[in-house]
A and B are shown apart, each in its own frame.
Chain A
């Protein structure tokens, strides 16, 4: 049972980090970023190229991946999403734009990095073994880093000026603007931060799971599932949703394995029932 719980906590930590960026962008701009998974993939490939092939230090590769994705996110916000939001009153315009960006990035990733699965050397070797628990040290490190990033992000949102400004925008964009918050600037910062988180987690997890050009879509779906559980646009909800999904997967795959692949069936049926009772998720607000 200890193994199942630890597996769930590890999955939860990485899932929570994946969901954070998605929920941040939604909170600030009301944009469902369908390209979140593709940004994760770019982060993974950048770490593969810099750490795996060029043999630069892992920390440098991770920093480069995060910085690159921040720039990509900023450019997307400045030249695409801001323009569409300004010119279109319909919310589905940004959804279509995000879907288009996802398809574009999918094609670009395939062209740039190829179709194959790639992996990098382990950052830490060795496995912790006890009577009831086996866990490789690199997973311990990745889980700790994921939790560290989550804590740093929450502290930044709580106690820094940009964090307070973004929280104000998430609560009421117009009121924040009337109070002097430069909303366009912080939209750009928020989008860049969301994309950076996707790149960071992609770069972090390439050391465990590797990366290939086809996983962007499934990653986005998983991130949306977590956000739906926790409540869209709420940072705490994304973290909670990530840990709940991780634990459900771990327990389901352990308890239900002899019945075939019904874990996800059970999770999605539960999610449908849950959303019909709490359509805004665990921590979401009716107004967004």
Chain B
């Protein structure tokens, strides 16, 4: 065979290899995982995570991807619904490990976050739970990064505000009989004691699948506390509890340290939910930037509605990608990511002024929490209005 005869196919092969390599360089994919609850009574927590991640990824991907080091990556969100079952959380984290994913958002609850810890540590995964047990974040643990404000950080601020501004002197707690709400209740009771509030009820609980809360709340309402705290209440249960309490004649304040969904509250309790106080999304209209407005518009367009809690949930993916941008070696090496967390600082795109940085020295002795504004809000006629904004550390 002559050289001329060989030249054409050889050139074609070389061209195809070159094109493929160039395409690979332009279309690298960074997979980021989500393991959490997207079905059942607490579904709103995980759904706001997933939708926030998918919205942010869509915005980035449309603009060509994110540049980390010398490469540009499309962001691929891999999701797993653990149904709030720790066994499934483990299965979900194992799935992430099998797919070679090093950064995972979730799980949403305490027992799920504790259950995945061995898998995450063995497989080299940094995960961002929305769970509050300190053991997840204090040494020797080092792979979990708290993705929001914990109740032991928000409760003191809320109770003090209500004591000073609304004259609250007595308090009662009610919680679902599950690890998250019970630990949040215990933290709330300790906080209330420290503030000198009179605790009227601290042991009342309910099954998480309760549909009618009137029998649960009847003995508590009789005690007439100034403040009724729904510790760790799931978004599906909050309107039912509020409605039952109000229909039983409860006149005091009602609050929780978990985030809630305005639409769910409005549909389930209507005007009876007015005055309900909860921790809100981290970017209120007063402080948020144009980028946050763009995110909210895109989210609403993609999913037909917006969840205020996504103001907080959007942060985890932003922190992951921005930290990788600051130290591109961390993309396959979580030890680099951990080192970077101690010094990381970047502009916060979601507020008019502020920085992204890791916190947690006060609560955990190491930087294992993302910094998001602590926003406390009050429900009024279908919407939340901001009561005050504070910092965590």
Interface hit among A69-77, A181-189, A246-254, A275-283: A246-254
**Given A117-B235, A214-B43, A7:B203 Cβ within 8 A:** no
- Comparing A84-92, A151-159, A165-173, A255-263, the segment that makes contact with chain B is A255-263
In the bound assembly, the distance between CA atoms of A258 and B220 in angstroms comes to: 10
A127 at the interface (CB under 8 A from B): yes
In the complex, the answer to whether B211 meets A215 with C-beta atoms within 8 Å is: yes
Q: Are B39 and A11 in contact (CB under 8 A)?
A: no
- Taking a contact as CB atoms under 8 Å apart, the answer to whether B205 and A261 are in contact is yes
Instruction: Tell me how far the C-beta of A139 lies from the nearest C-beta in chain B, rounded to whole angstroms.
Output: 8
Distance (whole angstroms) from the CB of B233 to the closest CB of chain A: 12
B175 closest partner in A (C-beta): A261
The answer, yes or no, to whether A134 is at the interface (CB within 8 Å) is: yes
Interface residues on B, range: 35 or more
- Across the interface, name the chain B residue whose C-beta is closest to A4: B218
Task: Please state if A134 and B215 are interface contacts (CB–CB under 8 Å).
Answer: no
Interface string of B213-238 (1 = CB under 8 A from A): 01110111000000000000001110
**Distance to closest chain B CB from A209 (angstroms):** 4
Q: Determine if B43 and A115 form an interchain contact, defined as CB atoms under 8 angstroms apart.
A: yes
Give A218 to B261 CA distance when docked, in angstroms. 23
- The reply to whether A209 and B40 contact each other, CB–CB distance below 8 Å, is no
The answer to whether A210 touches B218, judged by C-beta atoms less than 8 angstroms apart, is no
Cβ-defined contact, A120 with B40, below 8 A: no
B-contact 0/1 string along A137-159, CB 8 Å cutoff: 00100000000000000000000
**Interface 0/1 of A105-129, CB less than 8 Å to B:** 0000010000111111110000101
CB distance from A6 to the nearest CB of B (A): 9
Given the complex of chains A and B, what is the CA–CA distance between A165 and B249 in angstroms?
49
Q: How far is the CA of A245 from the CA of B53 in the complex (A)?
A: 44
- The one of A110, A134, A205 that contacts B247, using a Cβ cutoff of 8 Å: A134
Give A213 to B37 CA distance when docked, in angstroms. Answer: 13
- Please measure, in the bound complex, the distance between the C-alpha atom of A8 and the C-alpha atom of B236, giving whole angstroms: 23
The answer to whether B43 touches A134 (Cβ under 8 A) is no
Give residues of chain A (47-99) contacting chain B, Cβ–Cβ below 8 Å. Answer: 52
Do A212 and B247 form a contact, CB below 8 Å, given A116-B43, A257-B204, A261-B207? no
Q: Which residues of B contact A121 (CB under 8 A)?
A: 270
B-side contacts of A253, CB under 8 Å: 206, 215-216, 218-219
- B residues 227-256 near A (Cβ < 8 Å) are 235-237, 239-240, 247-249
Q: Determine whether B116 belongs to the interface, using a CB cutoff of 8 Å to chain A.
A: no
Asked whether, in the complex, the Cβ of A119 is within 8 Å of the Cβ of B249, the reply is no
Across the interface, do B40 and A213 meet the contact criterion of CB distance under 8 Å? yes
In the bound complex, residues from chain A placing their C-beta under 8 Å from that of B240 are: 209-210
Q: Is B72 an interface residue (CB 8 A)?
A: no
Q: Which of A3, A14, A209, A214 has the most CB of B within 10 A?
A: A214
Contacts of B38 in A (CB 8 A): 115
Flag if A115 contacts B235 (CB, 8 Å): no
Chain A, range 180-235, C-beta contacts under 8 Å to B: 205, 208-210, 212-215, 218-219
B212 at interface, CB cutoff 8 A:
yes
Closest chain B residue, CB of each to CB of A53:
B267
Chain B residues lying within 8 Å of A7, measured Cβ to Cβ, are 214-215, 218
- The CA of A127 and the CA of B249, in the complex, are separated in Å by 9
CA distance A7 to B248 in the complex (A): 11
CB of A136 closer than 8 Å to a CB of B: yes
Per-residue interface assignment for chain B, residues 253 to 296, with 1 indicating a CB less than 8 Å from any chain A CB and 0 otherwise: 00000000101100111100000000000000000000000000
A-chain residues with CB within 8 Å of residue B383 when the two chains form the complex: none
State whether the Cβ of A104 lies closer than 8 Å to any Cβ in chain B: no
Which residues of chain B are near A3, meaning CB under 8 Å?
218
A212→B218 contact, CB < 8 A: no
> For A4, A215, A253, A260, which residue has the most chain B Cβ atoms within 10 angstroms?
A253
Residue of B nearest to A250 (CB): B215
* Of B47, B237, B268, most A-chain CB atoms within 10 Å: B268
Asked if residues B177 and A212 are in contact (CB atoms below 8 Å), the reply is: no
Within the complex, what minimum Cβ distance (angstroms) separates B211 from chain A? 4
Which residues does chain A contribute within 8 Å of B267, judged by CB atoms?
A: 52, 117-120, 210
Q: Give A126's nearest chain B residue, CB to CB.
A: B247
A residues near B235, Cβ cutoff 8 Å: 116-117
Q: State A119–B268 Cα separation when bound (angstroms).
A: 5
> Which residues from chain A contact B40 at a C-beta distance below 8 Å?
115, 212-214
Is the CB–CB distance between A116 and B44 below 8 Å? yes
- B41 in the interface, Cβ–Cβ < 8 Å? yes
Shortest CB-to-CB span from A117 to chain B, Å, is: 4
6 additional contacts (CB under 8 A) given A117-B237, A253-B218: A11-B215, A52-B267, A117-B239, A127-B249, A210-B267, A258-B203
4 A-B pairs with the lowest CB-CB distances in the bound complex, closest first: A214-B40, A115-B43, A117-B236, A218-B209
Subset of 18 A-B contacts with CB under 8 Å: A7-B214, A7-B218, A11-B212, A115-B38, A116-B44, A116-B264, A117-B236, A119-B239, A122-B270, A134-B248, A134-B249, A212-B40, A212-B41, A213-B40, A215-B41, A249-B215, A253-B219, A260-B203
B contact residues vs A (CB 8 Å cutoff): 38-41, 43-44, 47, 177, 203-207, 209, 211-212, 214-216, 218-220, 235-237, 239-240, 247-249, 261, 263-264, 267-270
Binding site for B on A (CB under 8 A): 3-4, 7-8, 10-11, 14, 52, 110, 115-122, 127, 129, 134, 136, 139, 205, 208-210, 212-215, 218-219, 249-250, 253-254, 257-261, 264
